[in-house]
Amino acid sequence: MSTDTSTPWKAGHLPGVDPAAVHWQALRFDAHGRSVTVEVPVLAPQQMEALARHVRDAARRVLQPMPVDAVIDILDRAVARLLHPQEPLRQELDALLPVVTGYDAEMVRLGLTAYLQTFRAPQLHRFVTQDFANPKVLDGFQPALKGGAVRAFGPRLLAHVWAGNVPGLPLWSLACGLLVKAGNIGKLPSAEPVFASVFARLLAQEHPPLADALAIVWWKGGAPGPSEALYRQAGTVLAYGGNAALREVREQVPVTTRFLGYGHKLGVALVGRAALDMRRGPAAARSAALDLARFEQQGCYSPHLLYVERGGALAPRAFAGHLAAELAGLAHRHPRRDLALEESAAVAAWRQQVEWREGGELLGDERSSWAVAYSETPLPPAASPGQRCVQVCAVDALDDVVPLLEPHADFLQTVGLATTPEELYRLGELLGQAGVTRIAPLGAMTQPEPGWHHDGRFNLADLVRMVEIEHGAERAADRLAPYAQEDRP
Amino acid sequence: MNDAWPTGMQQAVDRLLAFVAQDGCTDAEFDALARELFALQYEHDEPYRRFCQRRGITPRRVNGWKDIPPVPISAFKDATLSCVAPEACERIFMTSGTTRGDVKGRNHHPTIAVWDQSMQRNFERRFMRATPRMQMLTLFPDEQELRNSSLARYLSLATRSFGTEGSRACVSTTGGLDIDGVCRTLEAAVAAGEPVAVLGASFSFVHLLDDLARRGLRFALPDGSRLLDTGGYKGQARELPLDEFYDGLAQAFGVPRERCINMYGMTELSSQFYDDGNARVPSVKSGPHWIRTRVLDPLTGREMPPGQRGVLSHCDLANFNSATAILTEDVGVAVDGGFLLLGRAEGAEAKGCSLAVQEFLEAARA
């Protein structure tokens, strides 16, 4: 039994808007025997337009004159506070996120801490340097190699449409938006409206003028009114979601506005025979099990299939057994969240398909909160329903996986790879050609490094507009200087 | 009757025909026939036997219909569930194959007599009620055109058994909907004051409503006229909320919503469910005495408490050859007098950037 003991938790962040004039929609969440009602703000189109103007003007006033190092400093201080277990806002997150997402509380706590560590100052500097050889282009004109000077401007207003699969996800694009000094308005995901709201509050506390340069809102997915009002004002629209959701957003974005869509992806892991001796094999299975359990495979980087090479001391079928045992252990340490009926039906349908397939073997019965399907023949990649359900296939050589992946290039992103250094680079070449954009070690598939190229793109460079002063313009200006000497070129 | 039939099947069919013909049954009678048919399928339906064995279920362990392991409908695609070799079957009905591309579910009928009798007995009671025959228009191709469609068989059999002269199919696979023909027939029925029945797939009604609206046409069909729609219209060009759909029907045909009957059936079964009109939606669905329904947790197979959503599982004794007990992908809830059908369990919508199974399938097919 769950009881709602608390008053509704207010999400969102609306500088310059009277909260009493806004419609608040209640979203109810139940998990772990607790329930929380979160109220999210739904703005009328005119209110959204006013908010967009407010945020854009504040960003120009507050954020754009600030050196990028100062922005990094504010973000670093905010993240440092969230990393502190005694910080009240962190405690609020630790209390709310497990109820809102249904994920195991300890898994959320550990995952969030590991994630936040990638947003400290050194990592943020690396993040900026990754995209801009000279980060000062974000602050003013810098000499260009070809001559003249260049300067990077972020959009005056950046609109974010966030997804709620992994808690904390909005921090990626929000940090990017702030680093390029854009005004930011983010649309909360219905599935996790908490993190972004808390982070906005934290930034406002850390540097009060910043409070006006970002806003957090909500609307019902597909509702055209407020979203279109926002997209009309935005310089760039950035969205996460499935292809159907992205299509919907893209159709609303004016054709002259930059649209950046991050679609659904499918991760796989490749375990080479070098990792399959009696000592390393079980360790590899443990790492893979962690990749599967973290956020119940809901991340774009999460694995859905494992290809295991024959010829090691540990045969692929035995590896599947180790993996099953590790998942069984994790089920105790970090229990799977309760499944909604539709999620149960999806898991059941997946299990049935394995069961009725010729040569399909299923480890873990209906009562297990995980499942390993095993096949002696390699199967093409297919999405599992998540919730710790994974297909393990034996392959004669890891190279055999490449042609299986190639037809699905649009859906590829992360490959977890366990193999020798030479093979890492040789296979990396082949996998990259096939469409893969990130090769990670087993056990870290869900934790991309700072500065990674999300879906093979440039996180910051994709957001900015480069402005150049040509070398010729510089020379022409020289000729017009009051000190110019007519007879010298 | 047939050399290709295993021993015991003819007796089972005879018992079944008599069972369907009787008025109602006791729980014990239902369980007894369910046990007998399970034993038959366990013995002669190889993939089903393996499915049961993996669950440790044998005929000895089955006391009543609830003990029979329900076959997921996806298995009708992956395996040949039949006690009789497919080539010895009188009819094979196939699903339209919308969920997994070109893979179609197949239900084998060694004799169509049981399916026919099940349909007729139930249709007579739930749709015809006291009327012996009436004029029928069907919005679906005739069974001569779609030999493997159970819905085509259903509507053709309805027309043949309960339709008056002039009853016919107004949709063909080549010509589509004969809208002029429909209008002429309905006008004539109005002029003659003779009740008429229009039966068809729900999405055909949606198209018909659009066509009539475009022509600015409305009918006030004579008293006793009725409509039957089936199949839902998910994934079609236009999706209507149920209330809007039945309001639209009532307005376009002048048939009150109490006389708009929805039939719920599937290729993987040999019997159908009906409601008693759609004055209120979702309506309560129920079946005849030879079919029973439970609401289950799809993953554990445990029965859900009344009032809680789950996946529908039916035990249809008329499905004597493939599997009497099946597990659907339809979400429902048990209520007094039957169950509410709440839609399909489409799999959870992915909440973020992990790939949804359905989306992947669609992309893989494109």
User: How buried is residue B303: exposed, middle or buried, by Cβ count under 10 Å (0-12/13-18/19+)?
Assistant: middle
Q: Are A131 and A459 in contact (CB under 8 A)?
A: yes
Q: What is residue A68's predicted lDDT score, i.e. its pLDDT?
A: 97
Is residue A328 a part of any domain in this protein?
A: yes
Q: What is residue A4's predicted lDDT score, i.e. its pLDDT?
A: 52
Q: What is residue B258's predicted lDDT score, i.e. its pLDDT?
A: 97
Is residue A475 a part of any domain in this protein?
A: no
User: Would you call B300 an interface residue with chain A, using a CB distance cutoff of 8 Å?
Assistant: yes
**Of B51, B79, B360, which has the smallest distance from its Cβ to A382's Cβ?**
B360
Q: Are B231 and B203 in contact (CB under 8 A)?
A: yes
User: Would you call B303 an interface residue with chain A, using a CB distance cutoff of 8 Å?
Assistant: no
Chain A's closest residue to B333, CA to CA, is: A341
Chain B's closest residue to A242, CA to CA, is: B353
Taking an 8 Å cut-off on Cβ atoms, the answer to whether B359 and A189 are in contact is no
Q: Cβ contacts (< 8 Å) between B359 and chain A: which residues?
A: 242-244, 264, 383
Is residue A479 a part of any domain in this protein?
A: no
Please tell me the distance from the alpha carbon of residue B155 to that of residue B214, in angstroms, as a whole number. Answer: 27
Q: What is residue A477's predicted lDDT score, i.e. its pLDDT?
A: 94
Q: What is residue A172's predicted lDDT score, i.e. its pLDDT?
A: 92
User: Would you call B355 an interface residue with chain A, using a CB distance cutoff of 8 Å?
Assistant: yes
Q: Cβ contacts (< 8 Å) between A357 and chain B: which residues?
A: 78
**Does one domain contain both A239 and A340?**
no
**Does one domain contain both A170 and A223?**
yes
Residue A58 maps to which CATH number? 3.40.605.10
Please tell me the distance from the alpha carbon of residue A193 to that of residue B210, in angstroms, as a whole number. Answer: 40
**Does one domain contain both A205 and A321?**
no
Q: Cβ contacts (< 8 Å) between B297 and chain A: which residues?
A: 341, 344
Please tell me the distance from the alpha carbon of residue B111 to that of residue B92, in angstroms, as a whole number. Answer: 10
Percent of chain A at pLDDT > 70 equals 98
Q: What is residue B344's predicted lDDT score, i.e. its pLDDT?
A: 73
DSSP annotation string for B51-94: HHHHTT--GGG--SGGGSPPEETTHHHHS---SS-GGG-SEEEE
Please tell me the distance from the alpha carbon of residue B328 to that of residue B306, in angstroms, as a whole number. Answer: 18
| Maximum Cα interatomic distance, chain A, rounded to a whole number of Å | 91
Average pLDDT in the A475-489 region? 84
Chain A's closest residue to B100, CA to CA, is: A353
Q: What is residue B347's predicted lDDT score, i.e. its pLDDT?
A: 47
Number of domains in chain A: 2
Taking an 8 Å cut-off on Cβ atoms, the answer to whether A356 and B351 are in contact is no
Residues A248-282 have pLDDT tens digits of 999 999 999 999 999 989 999 999 999 999 999 99
Taking an 8 Å cut-off on Cβ atoms, the answer to whether A341 and B309 are in contact is yes
Residue type (1 letter), A399:
D
Q: What is residue A251's predicted lDDT score, i.e. its pLDDT?
A: 94
pLDDT band at A337 (very low <50, low <70, confident <90, very high): confident
Residue of B351, B359, B361 best to disrupt the A interface, most CBs of A under 10 A? B351
Q: At what angle do helices B9-21 and B113-123 cross, to 10 degrees?
A: 10
Please tell me the distance from the alpha carbon of residue A485 to that of residue B305, in angstroms, as a whole number. Answer: 94
Residue A274 maps to which CATH number? 3.40.309.10
Is residue A478 a part of any domain in this protein?
A: no
Q: Are A248 and A67 in contact (CB under 8 A)?
A: no
State chain A's mean pLDDT as an integer: 94
> In this model, does residue B171 exceed pLDDT 50?
yes
**Does one domain contain both A248 and A309?**
no
pLDDT band at A6 (very low <50, low <70, confident <90, very high): low
DSSP annotation string for A176-201: HHHHTT-EEEEEPPTT--SHHHHHHH
Taking an 8 Å cut-off on Cβ atoms, the answer to whether B356 and A242 are in contact is yes
Q: Give chain B's end-to-end CA distance (angstroms, integer).
A: 47
Residue type (1 letter), A486:
E
> In this model, does residue B366 exceed pLDDT 60?
no
Q: What is residue B352's predicted lDDT score, i.e. its pLDDT?
A: 40
Residues B237-282 have pLDDT tens digits of 456 788 999 999 999 999 999 999 999 999 999 999 999 999 999 9
> In this model, does residue A450 exceed pLDDT 90?
no
**Does one domain contain both A368 and A240?**
no
The reported pTM is 0.85
How far away is chain B from the Cα of A142, in angstroms, using its nearest Cα?
37
- Domain segments of chain B: what residues? 114-288
**Of A169, A263, A385, which has the smallest distance from its Cβ to B357's Cβ?**
A385
User: Would you call B103 an interface residue with chain A, using a CB distance cutoff of 8 Å?
Assistant: no
**Does one domain contain both A315 and A413?**
yes
Tell me the ipTM for this assembly.
0.79
Average pLDDT in the B143-170 region? 94
Cβ neighbours of B56 (radius 10 Å): 8
Taking an 8 Å cut-off on Cβ atoms, the answer to whether B354 and A302 are in contact is yes
Residues B218-244 have pLDDT tens digits of 999 999 999 999 986 554 445 678 899
Residues A157-207 have pLDDT tens digits of 999 999 887 889 899 999 999 999 999 999 999 999 999 999 999 999 999
Residues B60-96 have pLDDT tens digits of 999 999 999 999 998 998 889 999 999 999 999 998 7
User: How buried is residue A328: exposed, middle or buried, by Cβ count under 10 Å (0-12/13-18/19+)?
Assistant: middle
pLDDT band at A355 (very low <50, low <70, confident <90, very high): confident
Chain B's closest residue to A410, CA to CA, is: B363
**Does one domain contain both A56 and A176?**
yes
- CATH 3.40.50.980 describes domain B114-288: yes
| Radius of gyration, alpha carbons of chain A | 25
Q: Cβ contacts (< 8 Å) between A367 and chain B: which residues?
A: 300
Please tell me the distance from the alpha carbon of residue A333 to that of residue A109, in angstroms, as a whole number. Answer: 13
> In this model, does residue B16 exceed pLDDT 60?
yes
How far away is chain B from the Cα of A194, in angstroms, using its nearest Cα?
15
**Of B79, B350, B363, which has the smallest distance from its Cβ to A410's Cβ?**
B363
Taking an 8 Å cut-off on Cβ atoms, the answer to whether B357 and A342 are in contact is no
Please tell me the distance from the alpha carbon of residue A456 to that of residue B245, in angstroms, as a whole number. Answer: 47
pLDDT band at B364 (very low <50, low <70, confident <90, very high): very low
Chain A's closest residue to B75, CA to CA, is: A356
Q: What is residue A278's predicted lDDT score, i.e. its pLDDT?
A: 93
Average pLDDT in the A206-227 region? 92
**Does one domain contain both A239 and A270?**
no
Taking an 8 Å cut-off on Cβ atoms, the answer to whether B72 and A340 are in contact is no
The three-point CA angle B225-B291-B53 to 5° equals 150
User: Would you call B78 an interface residue with chain A, using a CB distance cutoff of 8 Å?
Assistant: yes
**Of B72, B310, B363, which has the smallest distance from its Cβ to A411's Cβ?**
B363
How far away is chain B from the Cα of A140, in angstroms, using its nearest Cα?
36
Taking an 8 Å cut-off on Cβ atoms, the answer to whether B51 and A350 are in contact is no
**Does one domain contain both A274 and A174?**
no
Q: What is residue B42's predicted lDDT score, i.e. its pLDDT?
A: 97
A and B: number of Cβ contacts within 8 A? 144
List Cβ neighbours of B260 (8 Å cut-off, separation of 6 or more).
B226, B227, B228, B229, B246, B249, B250, B277, B278
> In this model, does residue B297 exceed pLDDT 70?
yes
Give the domain range for residue A216: 9-264+459-469
Taking an 8 Å cut-off on Cβ atoms, the answer to whether B74 and A353 are in contact is yes
Please tell me the distance from the alpha carbon of residue B206 to that of residue B217, in angstroms, as a whole number. Answer: 14
Residues in chain B, total: 366
Residues B38-68 have pLDDT tens digits of 999 999 999 999 999 988 999 999 999 999 9
Q: Cβ contacts (< 8 Å) between B301 and chain A: which residues?
A: 366
How far away is chain A from the Cα of B311, in angstroms, using its nearest Cα?
8
SS (H, E, C) A375-442: ECCCCCCCCCCCCCEEEEEEECCHHHHHHHHHHHHHHEEEEEEECCHHHHHHHHHHHHHHCCCEEECC
**Does one domain contain both A131 and A192?**
yes
Cross-strand bridge partners of residue A39? A10, A26
Taking an 8 Å cut-off on Cβ atoms, the answer to whether A341 and B51 are in contact is no
> In this model, does residue A324 exceed pLDDT 50?
yes
Residues B112-139 have pLDDT tens digits of 999 999 999 999 999 999 999 999 999 9
State chain B's mean pLDDT as an integer: 90
**Does one domain contain both A63 and A91?**
yes
Phi, then psi, of B7 in degrees rounded to 5: -60, 140
> In this model, does residue A386 exceed pLDDT 50?
yes
